[in-house]
Amino acid sequence: MQNDQQKQDNRISSWMMFLLAAACGLIVANLYYAQTLVGPIGHAIGLTSATAGFIVTVTQIGYVAGLLFIVPLSDVIENRRLSLVMLIMAAGGLLTAGLAPNAALFLTASLFIGIASVVAQILVPFAAYLASENQRGRVVGNVMSGLLLGIMFARPLASFVTSLWGWRAIFLLSALVISFLTVVLSFALPVRKPFPSIRYRNVIVSLGAILQQTPVLRRRALYQACLFGTFSLFWTVVPLYLADHFAMSQIGIAWFALVGVGGAIAAPIAGRLADKGWSKVLTGAAMMVAVLSFLLIHLFQGSSTFALILLFVSAITLDMAVSGNLVISQRTIYSLGSEARGRLNGLFMAIFFLGGAIGSSLGGWSYTQGGWSLTSLIGTILPLIALVSFLTEKRTAEPIQSHK
């Protein structure tokens, strides 16, 4: 029995865990390259300041669509083959975006980039599948650290590359990287065939039933949607705010965005503490940190050095809150049943990315209508909604549910 358990604990190697973490980071970064480049891209492809926000929103909408209709395929189709097909699509979308001469082609390419980038959410459950139960939080935390580092490095990297070679270069470079990654994963990934035999149509129809029958999924998705909404709102507007109030160049904005990378340290720590039963405490703490992060920069506005320091601090603490709660939520969801892990993850990610798309749209609208005061107020309210919902949550333990 002890030998069997030890064998189970060693199912996923450190190399495979590193590869999956790196792959997730490189893939998901494609969703965020345009976030600090809305100005130069919009100007180049003929979008007005009022419509430039669609550059980010369309990609997130594509990601949500992929989460709902592509990720569930991981419960039907062999996962390695599905991952490689989506990576090829991502490389094609990036190449098209980098060469697009007009808004219509760029936004279409952005939609496909968003759809194809959901391969990261096929690889994260892949890592959970390879891990044993008592190491799942650590493994998911480590892989999510890679994914979150990809999110956080994407913004400064895009700004640095743009300052050197223009905004098209980041999309073309990423197309090359994703092509190389496709080759590496084609050799490294093991074959993973879904256990049950189920039709795709039945999988899609089952999404509604799974959402209805799984209260913990609904709660966790709501919490993360609110947190990710405020996260997306912050990073959509803060480049404009820094340029307007602190006269920062693209390089300065890149250095500011680099500060947010520090928030990724929360992911592995949260995963380890969740394995020890601290999930509820950490969830409440993450929400309170998110509320305070935006409340402080709402109360202390202006162009002073102190206001800028608060922005730097808030960038780190907000990223920590979002990344920490994400790992805790995914660990909880991956424990609900391996048969439907792809669908559970797809629903969770779709709902919270929808929150991100709403946050991005609200950010562009609020900054135009009411400046930083209105934007930071909305940014404070979103995680406050999650906190109130969390405080009214029933404290009774829920049974683990299995879905087929």
Can you tell me the distance from the alpha carbon of 147 to that of 158, in angstroms, rounded to the nearest whole number?
16
| pLDDT (tens digit per residue) in 206-234 | 888 888 888 888 999 999 999 999 988 99
The DSSP symbol for 395 reads: -
Whether residue 298 contacts residue 380, with contact meaning beta carbons closer than 8 Å, is answered with: yes
What pLDDT is stored for residue 305 in this prediction?
86
Q: Which two tokens stand for residue 62?
A: 């594509």
CA distances from 30 to 150, 151, 301, 318, 371 (A): 9, 8, 32, 21, 28
Could you list the residue range(s) of the whole structural domain that residue 236 is in? Answer: 11-391
Question: What CA–CA distances, in Å, run from 290 to 38, 157, 283?
Answer: 25, 25, 11
* Under-50 pLDDT residues of the chain: 1-10, 396-404
Please give the pLDDT value at position 403: 46
| pLDDT given for residue 9 in this prediction | 46
Measured CA to CA, the distance from residue 167 to residue 165 in angstroms comes to 7
Q: How far apart are CA 179 and CA 191, in angstroms?
A: 20
User: Within a domain: residue 287?
Assistant: yes
89 domain-assigned? yes
Q: Does the residue 401 lie in any domain?
A: no
Distance CA 35, CA 335 (A): 33
pLDDT score recorded for residue 386: 92
Kindly state the tokens that stand for 352. Answer: 């919270």
Q: Where do we find the tokens 């202006």? A: 302
Where residue 195 sits, what CATH number does that domain have? 1.20.1250.20
**Residue 238 domain-assigned (yes or no):** yes
- Alpha carbon distance, N-terminus to C-terminus of the chain: 29
Question: Nearest CA to 79 among 35, 16, 19, 121?
Answer: 121
Does residue 1 lie within any of the structural domains?
A: no
Query: DSSP characters for 267-308?
Result: HHHHHHHHHTT-HHHHHHHHHHHHHHHHHHHHHS-SSSHHHH
Q: Is 370 among the domain residues?
A: yes
Of 225, 222, 329, 230, nearest to 270 by C-alpha is 329
User: What's the pTM value of the predicted model, to 2 decimals?
Assistant: 0.77
CB 336 within 8 A of CB 344: yes
* Position 341 in a domain: yes
Write down the pLDDT at residue 132.
Answer: 67
Tokens of residue 98, six digits: 């980098």
pLDDT score of 4? 39
Q: How high is the pLDDT of residue 397? A: 41
C-alpha–C-alpha distance, residues 389 and 202, integer Å:
32
Length of the chain: 404
Q: How many domains does the chain have?
A: 1
CA neighbor of 137 nearest in space, from 330, 340, 286: 330
Report if residue 403 sits inside a domain.
no
